[in-house]
Chains A and B, each alone.
Chain A
């Protein structure tokens, strides 16, 4: 397309500068741990022990591996592992409805009425394509209505795994149906190839080319033992599986590690239950410990395998929760300020970036925008996020106006 060249012309960026941008791509992979519903900043990385109970909430604080920094007592393992990751306490959003807020943080671009922006994973899929026969963008365990390719089209939608903690876990449509051997599958695939021969030989449209391409990839996935193994958690030692937690989020995080190890570029693990409008403390007691175990285990495991240096790991939610506890002992949606965690791919450990005000309601210093988070991820992955896509003739930048969080670049 013309746009790229035009952009380069306008920006006056020559090839050498671009190359150096690609060189600085430290992240070969990315894992996003998504805390769905809006995790409470007070109950996690930004406790407010000096506040009254209606703000502080029901949890105490504990020291972390970094002197002077405290987390909520719900995150003991994260506290111990704090040398492995950074926390930003001053992220803010502008959307307070789940779907829109998720779309905002998944895409790094604010939702609008004119078009639907692709999410970061879809952009990664488009820019880099598949690696080692595996889909580039995977969501674990389910499809999220806010996490799709938008105007880029279904070809860049995430691949969905299903819940890996289930006893009968099997990735949807990935394995041959029960009772069909590889030999039988190959035989009928040959029959199919013969049936398609005539159209394939004569038809030159992109559509048929595309269908062919995906069938080929599907056959590769189904028949390649390595690809199928990537989804097979049974290959992991029981002890390691235990360490992540035998639940959807824990096993999901482990699956994410297996997948990026084998070729997936961006894996998103969803853990629900954070939308604590009623009885916040009870909700937090159920959710955060699961996250604590899984996230700490993931960072440790990645580090042990030497993968942390090349894998950007983020723990994010769509927004935070109200500083004041409501009449139902819950907390409501609060995009004003919330915390996220980031690790790997050159992100320094043990660092607290920014802070919130006394009640945990607004950024006090170093406010970090959603666009900035998006730009950070793109920069880590070596994607030129000023690049323009086009939808219906309209230029749309991959990320508009975001500045990468420089503290995450060491």
Chain B
């Protein structure tokens, strides 16, 4: 471990370099962090570049704050040493090495010697490390790569941050200490560059892990990683649990009672009449009479992926991603865009082709719906196309890269500058929109001239891709952009796309957030992601093969819970996919499921009978239920909220709309109670409808006792069953997919 640079400098009395030494101090002390002078607006009139990304600019502003005749009188020293009031507090004492280095730099003339080699990147090693138990120690080394090809140890010149300090902590010397079981990233920032390393902390118990034969490469990668950290994958889910899960995840509906029977859920229940004859069950007759044949999971998966509900379910997700919102199109072309996306999903159209059609779209969006893709970039009031909104949308949707930060400042976590942002924006500089027919009709077209101006230099910016290449001079710009994304960058295009699908099935992407790929955001299973992306490319950019791979894997089919396991209490198990992570049903799926279980489907204003929540066209002004349970406005690109809330609980408990469905004389109970005199048969049917399984003997008894007590309390059989239905709809098992 090298001693502090500053100490070396002071001892030798050598020249202090602004770039190497002064900026290092501004970085390690946090002066140029985003919370202080590194914020886009600076702080108290003093603005530094974020983590020293722009040494020239930093030198200009720092030079205004130095006193060459009396270094101690320099504002740059008086402020942090509290000789002058400083909003940021007392950062340096006059005897601190850092103070003396800056002092020495001022005494040497306060120059910026810009001629030397500069840092082009920094690396942190090791990139991945497993620590065996809390308390274990390790060190990271940060190496700067210079423009002349040499390297420099920068371990003590960077600022460290840890994503999750409950897992490890790191001090200013790069010493890492394990705190608790889990996985986290250590981030080092310096000279405007960033690097990350991943740390896994175990709790010391070296359990043995059994070998399990993988179904496909997904399992191979996931099991290998689990073995490395000695975590046993959860056992495979049972058929009942899997059946309900895969219906909800793949097509967004519950299996009907008939489908359950067809798919092997034992339905050997005596009929009501038989039961009435037999009397109350004491003999176990009412338990499933025979073991059901094991479910053919692969066959079921194939069936589901070919159903219409597959399209309507995934359509909602695509609409979220592409922000098909009344907010942007004033309701006039939501429907045509929805139909266009639906057809893409139904036909499993090659996604690269669909993406190219959207990116290059021209014409009237009522006739050419792909152009709706651009609508979220129209300024609502001014009716103009905003390049600054459209640019990050394109990269984020198709490449999983968020460049919106760079619209205003250089990206703090990625080596991405404002110039890069505007180079990409320039591809859209000749895209225009015309409003007709009371401003609701929109026509997209390209002009032959028009340039995007750089916000600082006010000069036109030439189109340049994020990888630094430039398009052919005469190429229509959006054509070139579409080519670059779907062909040149096809691996990243594929990664970003399959990662979104993955996130829908597992609640988190292999890269998480699912649309935030960057060198500083490490994938949990990089090799798995690459193989999945390659499979997507090899399959002609079609979605269904990817769904099939995921759904058939043991990783997807793992249980949510197992006896003696952490069952959600271990962050490592979650990140490394040891189990299936239970999730709340999305708003539309839940509302449709309430309709399915009660037998009273939700109606939606003027929409025809049979319309499901997933079929609704307008996304604002939809029902209170949907917005309360997380249906997004689609006004900004944020994943929909899956958080539980008070309003959700109150709504399911008390809402008039729920009461109407539970109490409706035409609901499931009417038929059920008429058909059977036996309470058990009724309870059995409700459990099947809501949970896709038969109740256990214990559950039967509990519900039966409840119905008995209700009758004793003077309530009718019907009313007692309404209360059972209420409890089922409010239960966690109903609201979760697990």
Binding site for B on A (CB under 8 A): 1-2, 5-7, 9-13, 96-97, 99, 112-116, 135, 143, 145, 151, 153-155, 157, 159-160, 172-178, 183-184, 187-188, 191-192, 194-196, 199-200, 202-208, 210-215, 217-219, 221-222, 386, 388, 392-395, 397, 400-401
Contact = CB atoms under 8 A, between A and B. Distances in A.
B161 A215 contact: no
Interface stretch (B264-272, B280-288, B563-571): B563-571
B460 interface: no
Contacts of B731: 192, 195-196
A218 B581 CA distance: 25
Contacts of B628: 154
B648 A214 contact: yes
Interface residues of B, number: 91
B80 to A, nearest CB: 9
Contacts of A97: 380-381
10 contacts: A7-B35, A10-B91, A160-B647, A173-B647, A173-B655, A177-B656, A184-B713, A187-B710, A191-B703, A194-B702
B653 A208 contact: no
A213 to B, nearest CB: 8
B635 to A, nearest CB: 8
B636 A116 contact: yes
Contacts of A192: 726-727, 730-731
B161 A6 contact: yes
A11 to B, nearest CB: 5
Interface stretch (B229-237, B600-608, B637-645): B637-645
B732 interface: yes
Given A11-B36, A174-B654, 8 more contacts: A1-B165, A6-B30, A172-B651, A177-B656, A184-B715, A187-B710, A191-B702, A214-B645
A207 to B, nearest CB: 7
A397 B516 contact: no
B650 A173 contact: yes
B276 interface: no
A114, A160, A388, A401: residue with the most chain B Cβ atoms closer than 10 Å: A114
B643 A155 contact: yes
B724 interface: yes
A153 B642 CA distance: 8
Contact of B516 (A6, A113, A199, A392): A392
Nearest to B715: A184
A177 B713 CA distance: 19
Contacts of B656: 177
B41 A187 contact: no
A379 to B, nearest CB: 14
Contacts of B513: 392
Contacts of B33: 10
A133 to B, nearest CB: 11
B650 A174 contact: yes
Nearest to A198: B733
Nearest to B734: A195
B580 to A, nearest CB: 11
A183 B43 CA distance: 60
A188 B710 CA distance: 9
A12 B733 contact: no
A205 B645 contact: no
Contacts of A160: 647
Contact of A218 (B41, B408, B653): B653
B391 to A, nearest CB: 9
Contacts of A395: 34-35
A204 B636 contact: no
A13 B89 contact: yes
A398 B166 CA distance: 23
Interface of B: 29-31, 33-36, 39, 41, 43, 86-91, 161-163, 165, 380-381, 388-389, 392, 402, 404-405, 407-408, 412-413, 513, 516, 521, 560-561, 566-569, 574, 581-584, 620, 624, 627-628, 630, 633, 636, 638, 641-651, 653-656, 658-659, 699, 702-703, 706, 709-710, 713, 715, 723-724, 726-728, 730-733, 735-736, 738
A218 B644 contact: no
A208 B732 contact: yes
Contact of B643 (A6, A135, A154, A200): A154
Contact of A12 (B88, B381, B392, B521): B88
Given A154-B641, A155-B643, A393 B413 contact: yes
Contact of B404 (A96, A114, A155): A114
B646 A218 contact: yes
A222 B654 contact: yes
A221 B645 CA distance: 14
A102 to B, nearest CB: 13
Contacts of A212: 732
For the complex of A and B, the 5 pairs showing the least CB-CB separation, nearest first, are A12-B89, A205-B568, A204-B569, A10-B30, A218-B649
A157 B627 CA distance: 11
Nearest to B521: A393
Given A97-B381, A155-B644, A221 B650 contact: yes
B418 to A, nearest CB: 14
A10 B641 contact: no
B697 to A, nearest CB: 14
Contact of A211 (B388, B413, B644, B710): B644
B582 A218 contact: no
Contacts of B584: 207, 211
Given A113-B389, A210-B644, A183 B713 contact: yes
A400 B658 CA distance: 43
Contacts of A397: 35, 39
Contacts of A211: 584, 644, 649, 732, 735
Nearest to A14: B89
Contacts of B392: 113-114
Given A187-B710, A214-B646, A205 B41 contact: no
